[in-house]
A and B are shown apart, each in its own frame.
Chain A
């Protein structure tokens, strides 16, 4: 038995299984407790108390929500495409959890440090679009079809500025490896990529563009046309009940977590302390949850954009600025 444990292959299997379970648990717990924070944080802004009956400070509220979703009947509309209808939630949540496999949470805590980690995350995060679109289209519901069409247009439009920002970042860091990108930001916060003005004076703007694109990719307000409550009820998810809806819900928060984690890695220095002291997992989590708080904060501050306003913002504002950033980065790289 003990010799088996010295076997590298077995250790690797054990490690992978632990990471797989850990990642799914991380995604699920984050989804559960981000949904509680989603209700508590606006309660602070809106001068009221959030959920506080179920458990102290509402900490058991996600458990209650989960039980509610699990005990509902899973209905499939007559005329809906059953296979696609049931496949869509899976197609939305699986890529989000897979993206977490390449994210380094600290120096040693990374499931798979792939050399092309950034590219892997970027390509996987585009798959959830198909899932939402199929879910809306296979529902045999007019409202859902409209939302499905909107989702595709919105996500395609916001992939492009995201790609341009990431390309300009890779030009600076010379590597797709996320671990390397964080290593280059060691030291205090003046080394962070967001303030690396020597590489490009538009770096803070690039960070803001990344943030906006991340909001749009995860269909969060003010870009939540997909589930625009006052217009289309629940948009693409109108026909889903019980855990089908629950999976879409979890996937939304998993996408937010991936986006915020990527944001901390790329721009905010990953697991390094802002003042150059002890790096560690706790700094990573603090920064990631700060970005999640900002995501929730933005949602509850503004009204929703119109659909063409959303697309105009991407094509007419974000892409030109991202292109300008790319050019400036290239020029500065060549000159200095």
Chain B
């Protein structure tokens, strides 16, 4: 007599992670279908912060859209401005003077360091260690002070203009930046001793949250997520723009595809960014910071252009379609966090909740960038 195997009835329950939750870095709602402690399905629900930036891009003239660019991914705001002014400059055929390109690179890389420092602190908070956040914020404070002395703002910079930047940098900024570079370089061993080598952190991150290169290719994951999966794709090297071809820097790549690999990619990127800033300060040319004949009311000729930059979170792209008037016909903003979040549903299947949160933290999401 055979015993028929009955199908086991699995009882799953639905839990909401967010939109108000300490670990989701903004207003993100994830509908988790859980089987005990394991995740059966994780459906991210976005849109709580949608402010229609792309529509505003169609209703405003090119210059008036500049403040919007800083409000999307506000942690690394200069990259959004970089992408936007780069796209419009290509459309309108404006050349940027050399000094302005160098200043753009210096400020953008400072912003990248600040963004990665914030991410490192926030990632540790997700995992439960509250102290390193304060140390990274101490370093980040110096960067924000430097950028404030140049641009006047600390978070939402409206600094790049079509044809250059609006203020020049002075010797005090150069001296302050060099001092900051020395200080942060001397603090990196402390961070590695406190965080990277810590056995509890390693157990939380090594082997957790695998995101393979194949998954990245299918969902369009870029940035440290892709480089932590072993693919050496960095927009600064693959499609060079601005003054990056003149600098010598490496692109850190780790093949393990786990949370630890993504963490190490970002920590190494901080060191590489410091190298770029140092080289840029050494080679800084004299000259104007603004192109000469930039029309007050910009009317680029008909055409379209896609310009992408390597933001702190991935490849941020701007596709600007101009129909000859002073307002864009279409301003499409390609957000890196949107693509990085979309792979969460597939990657988190069958994981424990704590591990899924470590994975979500290692994706480095800023939700306003997803919602725009």
Contacts and interface: CB of A to CB of B under 8 A. Distances in A.
A touching B, CB within 8 angstroms: yes
Contacts of B198: 302-303
B303 interface: no
A277 interface: no
B134 A48 contact: yes
B134 A306 contact: no
Contact of A301 (B125, B131, B134, B138): B131
A306 B357 CA distance: 11
B94 interface: no
Contact of A307 (B37, B124, B125, B134): B37
A143 B353 CA distance: 12
Contacts of A307: 37, 352, 354
Contacts, number: 73
B362 to A, nearest CB: 13
Interface residues of B, number: 27
Contact of B127 (A48, A143, A224, A303): A303
Interface string A282-316: 00000000000000000011111111110000000
B131 A231 contact: no
Interface residues of A, number: 26
Q: Which of B13, B127, B128, B135 has the most CB of A within 10 A?
A: B128
A230 B200 contact: no
Nearest to A230: B23
Contacts of B353: 231
A303 B15 contact: no
A268 interface: no
Nearest to A146: B37
B22 interface: yes
A228 interface: yes
Contact of B131 (A42, A228, A305, A306): A42
For the residues of A in contact with B, the DSSP-based class is loop
B125 A305 contact: no
B23 A306 contact: no
A237 to B, nearest CB: 15
Nearest to A45: B131
Nearest to B201: A303
A230 B126 contact: yes
B297 interface: no
A229 interface: yes
14 contacts: A47-B134, A47-B135, A142-B13, A224-B128, A230-B23, A230-B126, A230-B128, A230-B357, A231-B23, A302-B198, A303-B198, A304-B127, A308-B352, A309-B200
Given A302-B198, A302-B200, 6 more contacts: A222-B200, A301-B129, A302-B201, A303-B200, A307-B37, A307-B352
Interface of B: 13, 15, 21-23, 37, 124-131, 134-135, 138, 198, 200-201, 203-204, 352-355, 357
Interface of A: 42, 45-48, 142-143, 146, 221-222, 224, 228-231, 233, 300-309
